[in-house]
Chain A
Amino acid sequence: ETGVTQSPTHLIKTRGQQVTLRCSSQSGHNTVSWYQQALGQGPQFIFQYYREEENGRGNFPPRFSGLQFPNYSSELNVNALELDDSALYLCASSSLDRRLAGYNEQFFGPGTRLTVL
């Protein structure tokens, strides 16, 4: 187990609704990245939060938003849900030091499976 938890596990919404997904990062990690994984595809980067600020964003519209709390847990909010938003939403926590080059392993949570009807 990675120590990264996500809630809820599954969620069903209808078009136009709003949804909030939650992620608790691994102890000692300061960074949470969110990914969307559609069926049959690899995960796609949505955005990352580092020390409570957005630190990079993928090609997703503004209706995808997020925040990170002082304890480094994070939320992903999606407004005006569309059918194509149906996917597995993964969060990954890591320990990032932007002063240093190199890569720190990202540890994924089990995901939230969102179905939009």
Chain B
Amino acid sequence: RKEVEQDPGPFNVPEGATVAFNCTYSNSASQSFFWYRQDCRKEPKLLMSVYSSGNEDGRFTAQLNRASQYISLLIRDSKLSDSATYLCVAGGSGSARQLTFGSGTQLTVLP
């Protein structure tokens, strides 16, 4: 079983749609959680951190449920430029605090 699991998609949605991504993690010692965005053949870039209280950044809302070990990302009013792969990430608690990535969910926003 992978430490971080997410639906690979692909998700194909029309512009303006709301889309939700879900993710589960198995290591209860994970301390920090993130969503990264990766464009085709590019490096991952931090989209947002995820907190238990939930956090919002414009059209993006992230939520963490530690009891269920579940992370979500909601994108409202999808734009063509949102097309990318979204990676769910758990940050470790060891000295390296390495990142454990899910396999990514591919999103295509259609005109």
Given contacts A41-B103, A102-B32, 18 further A-B contacts (CB under 8 A): A40-B103, A41-B104, A42-B4, A42-B102, A43-B87, A43-B101, A45-B96, A48-B96, A50-B95, A56-B94, A56-B95, A56-B96, A56-B98, A90-B43, A90-B44, A102-B31, A105-B46, A110-B43
Q: How far is the CB of B93 from chain A (nearest CB, A)?
A: 9
A45/B95 in contact, CB under 8 A = no
Which residues of B (1-27) have their CB < 8 Å from a CB of A? Answer: 4, 8
With a CB–CB cut-off of 8 A, which chain B residues contact A105?
Answer: 46
Select from chain A the residue with minimum beta-carbon distance to B45.
Answer: A108
- Chain A contact residues: helix, strand, loop or mixed: loop
Q: Which of A58, A103, A110, A111 contacts B97 (CB 8 A)?
A: A103
10 tightest Cβ-Cβ pairs between the two chains A and B:
A56-B96, A42-B101, A108-B43, A103-B32, A45-B98, A48-B96, A103-B91, A42-B103, A43-B101, A55-B96
Interface residues of A (CB under 8 A from B): 2, 33, 35, 40-45, 48, 50, 55-56, 58, 90, 92, 96, 98, 101-106, 108-111
Please measure, in the bound complex, the distance between the C-alpha atom of A36 and the C-alpha atom of B92, giving whole angstroms: 17
Which residues of B (59-111) have their CB < 8 Å from a CB of A? Answer: 87, 89, 91, 94-104
Q: How far is the CB of B90 from chain A (nearest CB, A)?
A: 11
With a CB–CB cut-off of 8 A, which chain B residues contact A45?
Answer: 96, 98-100
Please measure, in the bound complex, the distance between the C-alpha atom of A106 and the C-alpha atom of B100, giving whole angstroms: 12
Centre residue among B31, B91, B99 by max chain A CB count within 10 A = B99
Q: Which of A42, A55, A109 contacts B95 (CB 8 A)?
A: A55
Q: How far is the CB of B55 from chain A (nearest CB, A)?
A: 15
Q: Give 27 pairs: A residue, B residue, CB < 8 Å, sorted on A.
A: A2-B43, A35-B99, A35-B101, A41-B104, A42-B89, A42-B102, A42-B103, A42-B104, A43-B44, A45-B96, A45-B100, A48-B96, A48-B98, A50-B95, A56-B94, A56-B98, A58-B98, A90-B44, A96-B97, A101-B31, A102-B31, A103-B31, A103-B91, A105-B46, A108-B43, A108-B44, A110-B43
